[in-house]
Amino acid sequence: MATASVKTNLLGLSRDEYKGLATTLCAGCGHNSITNHIVKALYDHGVNPYRLAKMSGIGCSSKATAYFVERAHAFNAVHGRMPAVTTGAAVADRDLLFFGISGDGDTASIGLGQFCHLLRRNVDCTYLVENNGVYGLTKGQFSATADLGSVQKKGAVNQLETIDIAGLAVQLGASFVARSFSGDGAQLVPLLRAALSHRGTAVLDVISPCVTFNDHDGSTKSYQYVKEHELILQELDFIPSQHEVEVNYPEGSATEVELHDGSHLRLRKLGREHDPRDRIAALQVIDDARQRGEVVTGLLYVNPDTADLCTAERLPQTPLRDLDEAQLRLSPGQFRELLEEWA
Amino acid sequence: MATASVKTNLLGLSRDEYKGLATTLCAGCGHNSITNHIVKALYDHGVNPYRLAKMSGIGCSSKATAYFVERAHAFNAVHGRMPAVTTGAAVADRDLLFFGISGDGDTASIGLGQFCHLLRRNVDCTYLVENNGVYGLTKGQFSATADLGSVQKKGAVNQLETIDIAGLAVQLGASFVARSFSGDGAQLVPLLRAALSHRGTAVLDVISPCVTFNDHDGSTKSYQYVKEHELILQELDFIPSQHEVEVNYPEGSATEVELHDGSHLRLRKLGREHDPRDRIAALQVIDDARQRGEVVTGLLYVNPDTADLCTAERLPQTPLRDLDEAQLRLSPGQFRELLEEWA
Amino acid sequence: MAEPGSVDLNLVASTVNGSGSQSANLVLTRALFAMGIPVSPKNLFPSNIEGLPTWFYLRANSAGYRAGRRRADLLVALDRATFAEDVKRLEPGGVLVYEEAFGVPEPGADHLHLYPVPFASLAKSAIPDPDLRKYLTNMIYVGVVAEILGIPDSALEDALLHQFRSKPNALSSNRQAIALGRDYFGTHLTKTDLLRVEPIDRTSGKLLLEGNQTAALGALMAGCTVLAWYPITPSSSLAEHLIGLADRYRVDPASGERRIATIQAEDELAAAGMVLGAGWAGARSMTTTSGPGISLMAEFIGLGYYAEIPGVFVDVQRVGPSTGLPTRTMQGDVSFAYTLSHGDTRHPVLIPGTVLECYEFMQWAFDLAEQLQTPIFVLSDLDLGMNLWMTDPLPYPTTGFDRGKVLHKDELDQMARFERYRDVDGDGVAWRTVPGTEHPLAAYFTRGSGHDEAARYTESDETYTRVIDRLARKLESGIEKLPPPLLEGGSAEVGIIAYGSSDPAVEEALDVLAVEGVAADYLRLRALPMAPSVADFVAAHERVYVVDQNRDGQMFQILQVELGPLLAARLRSVRHYDGLPLFAADLVDAIRPLESTRVGQSAVPLVGAGH
Amino acid sequence: MAEPGSVDLNLVASTVNGSGSQSANLVLTRALFAMGIPVSPKNLFPSNIEGLPTWFYLRANSAGYRAGRRRADLLVALDRATFAEDVKRLEPGGVLVYEEAFGVPEPGADHLHLYPVPFASLAKSAIPDPDLRKYLTNMIYVGVVAEILGIPDSALEDALLHQFRSKPNALSSNRQAIALGRDYFGTHLTKTDLLRVEPIDRTSGKLLLEGNQTAALGALMAGCTVLAWYPITPSSSLAEHLIGLADRYRVDPASGERRIATIQAEDELAAAGMVLGAGWAGARSMTTTSGPGISLMAEFIGLGYYAEIPGVFVDVQRVGPSTGLPTRTMQGDVSFAYTLSHGDTRHPVLIPGTVLECYEFMQWAFDLAEQLQTPIFVLSDLDLGMNLWMTDPLPYPTTGFDRGKVLHKDELDQMARFERYRDVDGDGVAWRTVPGTEHPLAAYFTRGSGHDEAARYTESDETYTRVIDRLARKLESGIEKLPPPLLEGGSAEVGIIAYGSSDPAVEEALDVLAVEGVAADYLRLRALPMAPSVADFVAAHERVYVVDQNRDGQMFQILQVELGPLLAARLRSVRHYDGLPLFAADLVDAIRPLESTRVGQSAVPLVGAGH
Ligand SMILES: Cc1ncc(C[n+]2csc(CCOP(=O)(O)OP(=O)(O)O)c2C)c(N)n1
Ligand SMILES: Cc1ncc(C[n+]2csc(CCOP(=O)(O)OP(=O)(O)O)c2C)c(N)n1
Ligand code: SF4
Ligand code: SF4
Ligand SMILES: [Mg+2]
Ligand SMILES: [Mg+2]
């Protein structure tokens, strides 16, 4: 049969089963490319659609959760408040795999406070920012990640310092911080899989050009600009531990990070050495690139050994919603005892 | 006459005229010591009480604006929202000298987003955080600056990473970031005067023990702890440019920063070299100290050459409120012209 | 159609958003306008940037009715996705212009006048560049419609010149596209319908303007010097219009100094705080937002109320709750805004009903904010704010700013003492100073916690009560300063109370009902709290229909409380809440049955979409 | 005092906060309680940590009246700052115990029984350690009062044992301090007053509990597994009680696992989001806050309403607007919470009136949230939540949790299709699934924007209206599930409607009015929207007084709207809003004149502090 020939992943699911509704975003929007990379990463990683929870805020970017894994629950929160909703859901059911998508306005403007506190709590989720430096859905105003001096389609010039989401995340002690570019699947897919394997908040700051309002000279988030200035910091070779894969990469110059699920992430240094376990080095490399007007991409920082919120709160493995009266109420004896104490 | 003998500053005002209402804070509260240092700094600096605007949020710390310069206007905003109110007031009248006092809960918990955006806009004000790691006014719950592992009076242990206000400010590109300790007037007063002279947002993260809820072992904000672990990074010698003062400090090992008002700030290095114009170095020194469980104090970073919000917005020197119909309305001619265009 | 030149045409063009159909729609609008025919265009657009269905409604009515109509006399169908549904929107015997490639519409369309046009292939052959082609295809429909309705080239030329005045080199290509459509119809199709427009003279001296545009000019003329805002549909364009005007009229050519601060805040909560900070410092400050922003401003509005800080808060309403339908219209925030924030609060609310009032009420609002020292709401909506409306020219202000009770150094010199919250004049409004006032008496402490007349902190029960009672008195005494209700007619048995963008539909409905024998008077509310004359109006009518564009009859409820039980008994609620602008027929259909069979229940939910 | 043992004593102790007077006050309270005398203590404390005036009100009433009284029979004055003012709070002929060093009180006090006591010097001589001394000085007053009232040592001993059960080594020093006071009075003063208490048996089996404490236990017994909160007076202690209980009863001794997540959020806005996230994921989640927090939650509550997400939102009300008086009580958030958020919204509101109901209603609320799939408000207040109240023991729950309409894998196996927002049962409540449900039909998309029955995004006018109408129906059909109003009496001409912490004052006022010849029936509202029986009650009474602890008569207004004009005409508004708890006299003084001279205006603002 035809179906017999359909390729499937280790869960026996075809790649199509990781697709979602047709996109309603602009043709050529960077967000659409990211969606495709997400589909591939989730498929390759063999994520169970039923355990996936797709979280987002409000914006063109936040619509993207509708465009992959239609069979997963999704929560489109209010603008900038996805972190709080995700935190609540994450403690309610630590079994779920939370995949959050936000925009730069959603994260760095209205949502900045919640974003910082999500990192502080190290909520176990992937937090992907589709970063285009503008408010796409409201037609192109600057966001807080718009670079100083970049020119808006309508002609206005941004007067304010940009907020570097990756740098901020590293400074706040996030346990996984990477940056990539929507057009660079070869880099983004492995980063996504590494994020999926990470326990704690994995921040992916993905430059994602808004072709309608931000893809013009002057914008430092446009295809042109990024392609010209992008600087590949590392390539990633991700080895899932489920099955051994022979890969022939040159030995020696490799830093190997062991993720909590036992899978290994091996980083190949390009051009210069970067140790992704060195916070200050990460800040330095971001800063240096910025000084040169470059965008540094790759895995900037990772600490596989942090406790996520559920661990810190010592929550049971059973989802809290599944606990019953016997597990949640005082026994009649305890109850009587307590009231006597209170008497 | 007796009055003749009263010492006055260059405005001819006595120090008493910089005092406020009697404090209603706990006896021994670090916040009270800070108030005294503020009084001295404003007096020494010769600040005009009528041009001073005292801003704050909500908390024991935020009450402090009532305890100095009674003749200055004050705005006690809602909890965590002093930055927005200050931003609005600052553009309305760039002639005013804004002095903001907040708490760690007010700034790093509920107010974190606004705090970050205040820095991003580089609003011209002094922003002093009276940092005690707890919510004093609501009786001692942990704030976001409570250190990992510190123990609450009620016995709970903080499970979360602390937010380092100074480090965060440096990372976000704040133009003036210093840290001090409420008990260290010798250091704080000069820092305050440097902040008053700085154009742009000057962040002062002042460790200020809460004697009632946080001054016990386990807390890293207590007098004991700080006194034991404090590490003086620099001493400050502040020279107002109004009149030359002979000071005999050893030459050579000094870094001199020129502030926008022409006054000079000379930093004396102690123990190690720190260049307060080097952002990464500032992050490094904060991080190093933290690693050693120490609190680093002093002027961590300063960039005297940034444009504050009013400059970036190219606002006139005249307070906006003083502009009249002639300056604000279209002329009848322009009006007619515009309507014709619209026709 | 009765007398010569009389027109009542409702055209609907169904296209895809982001395809540039906007300019085609505008050219058509302006062409009819140039012929002297009153027009009111409306865009029903999706909350999306490109590729989804969008509808353009164009009402051309020689009697000057400004409301839309639900059903189309002429439908231009260029979006295959909605073709079948759109055809159902046609009046029986209506005219259908459609992309030939869609094929003959479903059975049931045979009673229509069908004009299939091969837009795509026409464009393909004539316009090589694909982007330009996608865009110009819409212009072709303008030509077709012009030919059908008999719109002269002169009118189209006027429209084109206006539309492309800033990019003249786009003129010829658009002109050609229109010609293409005209010629195709002329050569390949024969007119079977009776639709026709003729030049009349009912638009001279009039303008076509958007409420957000006129409100922006109003703010500028009101001397607004601080705008703090956060982008949100449908209010963004108000801020952007104001910024555009400021760039042009508030910048000193010599120094480059800007006599206004326009701050894009990080969110609405911060925007509200900036407005209060600026108002406290004495500047005329405002923000503009929509429903979700109002929710986020709740805490700050309470501070503004209790600490008595001026500020103007514009809410260009859209469909709630929550994110709702961001690109549809509703009057859903009336009761929420009126008593926004926890505790006992109440805020003056101005409700413009025309683009002219959008301009006037912004100026009114800035005066009121400083007169009453409190946050003032201006409640507009998407229909009023984002659509073009025919209007008389905006008048140049005849008076200066009223800055309210502010004490300066020289006045303080004359005073023994100053107390910020002392009601010295008996109108509930105390005098204030601004920071920076060089006088020992000037300073006071502003706070949202308990305070006495001298602005000192207090928890005293007596003082708290005294202050909060004064705030209630202040608002009472302020009512006479608010825009009074407008009254039409006077002797009928039936009354209609409406507000805001319901006005056009009510005006038209009054005529229809009159023809049907139901005479009704009309009171248009323009502010809350309510003026005494509202009670008089209700007292003078047996049955009063209160028109709300929301589900819960919010104004109906407010009236019930403020009028008291006796008069409340005369009120009937008419509700429209499907996100579409209010149509006259919706009102007529709701009121007719109740008036024919004099059975007045107290609520008539009106599912607009239902018919 | 009539029959033997009958007591009606109102004691006021005026001290400085942070001085440890709390435990002295509690020992006195418990001692009277141990004598079998019903007590209701109230703290009037400042929004400050140390050094400001604080008052302790203790009503001891053998008839069981729980409301406070404004004036004191016995005043203990230990704060010089407020001495003069405090003396004015004494009933004529009252008893004044005061620090001798303050000197004889102002003229006007001569009609009082004066007992000067040198507290400071007594303490100084007896207690060397200064900190301990400051603290124990308060205990000395307990001894003095015990001697005056004739409280036996046995009762004091019971109280001491209860108070210091966790720190027994503090017992003796406190015991000595009390003895010190007793002895001083015995040896240096002679009793001239007639105040006296005798043991009766009216407290056996009763408990003294705070509303926040019983609400916390209610939440625990309701199976709350997620608490997200932000500290704010007067709601913090509810969260802290719950955390304390959880530490004790939700931790697995073996694994150390905690069967509840208690997250201190960064603010209330985030707390609300966490509650919705957890509710969406199927957990029983709650937050607790006060006015300012409610304002910050406005946007999320609208999302919860429109996306239909369960969650319990407790508002322990304090005095607004804005920061207001954080440590004073009010019912100021009723109308704001009821329709919180922009657009058309309406939320079930539970209003407990006793500490027992605080316990019960929390359990009720968690069931309702999941039954109706919407945010549920529980409106308590500072008076109810932070003061001790005498109550019957709390009953152990007799039923299990009602988790509402949730579909699991096995049920989905039986179904052809699942649509999240389809009203299959006709009660307006649709079925939901939770994320993690292993079934191809389970997933759906949750959003605050327009959606159809299948949870698909839509901007359709018809669909929008259908969904929003169902939400209104859902709430209607939910009314029968809410706590019904409680009715007392039934045949009188006059009715009183009150809610929440007004109950004790109303109960007492009813008796007083009855004695004065004004018979009145009493309906206590316990939830919104209102049950049909409220209309019946109003219909059955000529005049109905609606008691609000807020300035604007918020419940009075809601009743006007929900009852309709005919019944609304019978309503009169009685308002108390000075931040003090409601006293019976305030009601009697407000209603008496209206009933004697049958002139019923429709609003009787009642400046509590005024008399
Ligand atoms: C409270 C609130 N304020 C404003 C808006 C309007 N709004 C919708 S999306 C958006 C910004 C989106 O920008 P971003 O997050 O960068 O996403 P993008 O569209 O660029 O992908 C705004 C301001 C809203 N929905 N809610
Ligand atoms: C919106 C809001 N939430 C909560 C509170 C209650 N509250 C008052 S002060 C405070 C925290 C104060 O902590 P911090 O800022 O560190 O000041 P400190 O008292 O420690 O000096 C809180 C939570 C409030 N006033 N407003
Ligand atoms: S507007 Fe920009 S961000 Fe939004 S869909 Fe289009 S291209 Fe993407
Ligand atoms: S509680 Fe702590 S922070 Fe507040 S006044 Fe007392 S010592 Fe200071
Ligand atoms: Mg963006
Ligand atoms: Mg603090």
CA distance C183 to chain D (A): 37
Per-residue pLDDT reduced to its tens digit, A199-229: 999 999 998 888 887 644 455 555 444 444 4
What are the structure tokens assigned to D51, written together? 């050094």
Which of B56, B109, B142, B153 to probe the D interface (max D CBs under 10 A)?
Answer: B109
Compute the average pLDDT of residues A172-179.
94
Burial class (CB in 10 A: 0-12, 13-18, 19+), A217: exposed
Minimal Cα distance from C581: which residue of D?
D461
Which of C444, C447, C452, C458 to probe the B interface (max B CBs under 10 A)?
Answer: C447
Average pLDDT, chain A: 82
pLDDT of residue C477: 96
CB C216 within 8 Å of CB C360: no
Chain mean position to CA D238: 11
Compute the average pLDDT of residues C180-192.
96
Sequence-distant (≥ 6) Cβ neighbours of residue B141 within 8 angstroms? B134, B135, B152, D231, D236, D264
B133 or B69: which carries more pLDDT confidence? B69
Q: How far is the CA of D418 from the centre of ligand 4 (A)?
A: 56
Judge if the beta carbon of residue B209 lies within 6 A of ligand 2. no
Compute the average pLDDT of residues C172-185.
94
Task: Return the axis-axis angle of helices D171-188 and D21-34, rounded to nearest 10°.
Answer: 80
Whether A275 and chain B come into contact, CB under 8 Å, resolves to no
pLDDT of residue B159: 65
The terminus-to-terminus CA distance of chain D in angstroms comes to 25
CB C211 within 8 Å of CB C352: yes
Closest-CA residue to A164 (of A330, A39, A296, A327): A296
Judge if the beta carbon of residue A60 lies within 6 A of ligand 3. yes
CB C49 within 8 Å of CB C18: yes
CA distance B201 to chain D (A): 24
Average pLDDT, chain C: 94
Say which of B26, B109, B110 has its CB closest to residue D50.
B26
This prediction has a pTM of: 0.94
Least confident of A38-42, B28-32, C452-456: B28-32
C31 or B218: which carries more pLDDT confidence? C31
What are the structure tokens assigned to B5, written together? 């003998």
Q: In chain B, what residues touch A284 (CB-CB under 8 Å)?
A: 280
**What ranges make up the beta strands (E) of D34-193?**
39-44, 53-61, 72-77, 90-99, 113-117
CB contact under 8 A, C236 and A144: no
Whether D462 and chain C come into contact, CB under 8 Å, resolves to yes
What are the structure tokens assigned to C130, written together? 């694909």
CB contact under 8 A, A112 and B111: no
User: Which of A23, A24, A29 for a ligand 3 pocket mutation test, highest count of atoms within 8 Å of Cβ?
Assistant: A29
CB contact under 8 A, B70 and C443: yes
* Residue located via tokens 């609008």: C29
Per-residue pLDDT reduced to its tens digit, C468-496: 999 999 999 999 999 999 999 889 999 99
Maximum Cα–Cα distance across chain B: 75
Minimal Cα distance from C266: which residue of B?
B117
Q: How far apart are CA A244 and CA D276, in angstroms?
A: 42
Whether A323 and chain B come into contact, CB under 8 Å, resolves to no
pLDDT of residue C320: 97
Closest-CA residue to D140 (of D179, D188, D170): D179
Residue D131, phi then psi, degrees to nearest 5: -60, -50
CB contact under 8 A, D299 and C307: no
Judge if the beta carbon of residue A143 lies within 6 A of ligand 3. no
CB contact under 8 A, A144 and B120: yes
CA distance D51 to chain B (A): 7
pLDDT of residue A288: 82
Compute the average pLDDT of residues C397-416.
97
Whether D86 and chain C come into contact, CB under 8 Å, resolves to no
Q: In chain A, what residues touch D224 (CB-CB under 8 Å)?
A: 328
Whether D490 and chain C come into contact, CB under 8 Å, resolves to no
Judge if the beta carbon of residue A196 lies within 6 A of ligand 3. no
The closest residue, in CA terms, to atom 1 on ligand 4 is B136
Average pLDDT, chain D: 94
The closest residue, in CA terms, to atom 8 on ligand 3 is A29
Sequence-distant (≥ 6) Cβ neighbours of residue B146 within 8 angstroms? B133, B134, B152, B158, B160, B162, B221
Per-residue pLDDT reduced to its tens digit, D15-54: 988 877 888 999 999 999 999 999 999 999 998 888 889 9
Q: How far is the CA of A167 from the centre of ligand 3 (A)?
A: 25
Per-residue pLDDT reduced to its tens digit, B235-251: 333 323 333 222 233 33
Whether B110 and chain D come into contact, CB under 8 Å, resolves to yes
pLDDT reading at C89 higher than 80: yes
Give residues whose Cβ lies within 5 Å of ion ligand 6: B 103-105, 132
pLDDT reading at C392 higher than 70: yes
Q: How many residues does chain A have?
A: 343
Helix/strand/coil for C27: helix
CB contact under 8 A, B172 and A160: no
Q: How far is the CA of B219 from the centre of ligand 4 (A)?
A: 15
Q: How far is the CA of B297 from the centre of ligand 6 (A)?
A: 18
Q: How far apart are CA B339 and CA B342, in angstroms?
A: 5
Say which of A111, A120, A283 has its CB closest to residue B280.
A283
Element (H, E) at C37: none
Q: How far is the CA of B137 from the centre of ligand 4 (A)?
A: 7
Judge if the beta carbon of residue D239 lies within 6 A of ligand 2. no
Q: How many residues does chain B have?
A: 343
Lateral strand order in the sheet of D375-381: D261-264, D226-229, D285-289, D311-317, D375-381, D349-350, D527-528
pLDDT of residue A254: 36
Per-residue pLDDT reduced to its tens digit, D382-412: 999 999 999 999 999 999 999 999 999 999 9
pLDDT of residue A221: 55
pLDDT of residue A250: 36
pLDDT of residue C597: 63
CB contact under 8 A, D273 and A114: yes
Compute the average pLDDT of residues B221-241.
40
Task: Return the axis-axis angle of helices D532-539 and D554-563, rounded to nearest 10°.
Answer: 90
Q: In chain D, what residues touch C339 (CB-CB under 8 Å)?
A: 335-336, 552
pLDDT of residue B301: 93
Q: How far apart are CA D257 and CA A313, in angstroms?
A: 8
Q: In chain A, what residues touch D166 (CB-CB under 8 Å)?
A: none
Sequence-distant (≥ 6) Cβ neighbours of residue B140 within 8 angstroms? B134, B152, B153, B154, B210, B212, B213, B214
What are the structure tokens assigned to B85, written together? 């109110």
Residue A165, phi then psi, degrees to nearest 5: -60, -45
Q: In chain C, what residues touch D305 (CB-CB under 8 Å)?
A: 321-322
The band of D601, judged by pLDDT with boundaries at 50, 70 and 90, is very low
Q: How far apart are CA C491 and CA C520, in angstroms?
A: 8
CB D580 within 8 Å of CB D608: yes
The band of B1, judged by pLDDT with boundaries at 50, 70 and 90, is very low
> Subunits that touch chain C (at least 3 Cβ pairs < 8 angstroms)?
A, B, D
Q: What is the dihedral of CA C141, C145, C151, C154, to 10 degrees?
A: 10
- DSSP states along A239-265: E-TTS-------SSSEEEEE-TTS-EE
Compute the average pLDDT of residues A247-268.
35
Compute the average pLDDT of residues C183-194.
96
What are the structure tokens assigned to D227, written together? 């608490």
Beta-bridge partner residues of A255: A267
Q: How far apart are CA B143 and CA B103, in angstroms?
A: 9
Task: Return the axis-axis angle of helices C21-34 and C130-149, rounded to nearest 10°.
Answer: 30
Chain mean position to CA B259: 16
What are the structure tokens assigned to C574, written together? 């008419």
Angle, alpha carbons C98-C100-C106 (nearest 5°): 70
pLDDT reading at B126 higher than 50: yes
Q: How far apart are CA B282 and CA B305, in angstroms?
A: 18
In A33-62, the residues whose Cβ lies within 8 Å of chain D are 49-51, 53
What are the structure tokens assigned to C420, written together? 């910020």
Compute the average pLDDT of residues A296-325.
94
The closest residue, in CA terms, to atom 8 on ligand 1 is A59
Angle, alpha carbons D103-D105-D107 (nearest 5°): 130
Closest-CA residue to D229 (of D276, D268, D172): D268
CA distance C592 to chain A (A): 41
D340 or B26: which carries more pLDDT confidence? D340
Q: In chain A, what residues touch B279 (CB-CB under 8 Å)?
A: 287
Q: How many residues does chain D have?
A: 611
* Residue located via tokens 């009958």: D6
Helix/strand/coil for B53: strand
β-bridge pairing D39-44 and D72-77: unpaired
pLDDT reading at D586 higher than 80: yes
Beta-bridge partner residues of B205: B129, B179
What are the structure tokens assigned to B285, written together? 């020194």
Whether C229 and chain A come into contact, CB under 8 Å, resolves to no
Judge if the beta carbon of residue A153 lies within 6 A of ligand 3. no
User: Which of A26, A79, A221 for a ligand 1 pocket mutation test, highest count of atoms within 8 Å of Cβ?
Assistant: A79
pLDDT reading at A157 higher than 70: no
User: Which of D47, D230, D333 for a ligand 2 pocket mutation test, highest count of atoms within 8 Å of Cβ?
Assistant: D230
Residue A77, phi then psi, degrees to nearest 5: -80, -165
pLDDT reading at A45 higher than 90: yes
The band of C611, judged by pLDDT with boundaries at 50, 70 and 90, is very low
- Taking one residue from B and the other from C, the number of pairs with CB-CB distance under 8 angstroms is 201
Q: How far apart are CA D249 and CA D244, in angstroms?
A: 9
CB D370 within 8 Å of CB D284: yes
CA distance C556 to chain D (A): 9
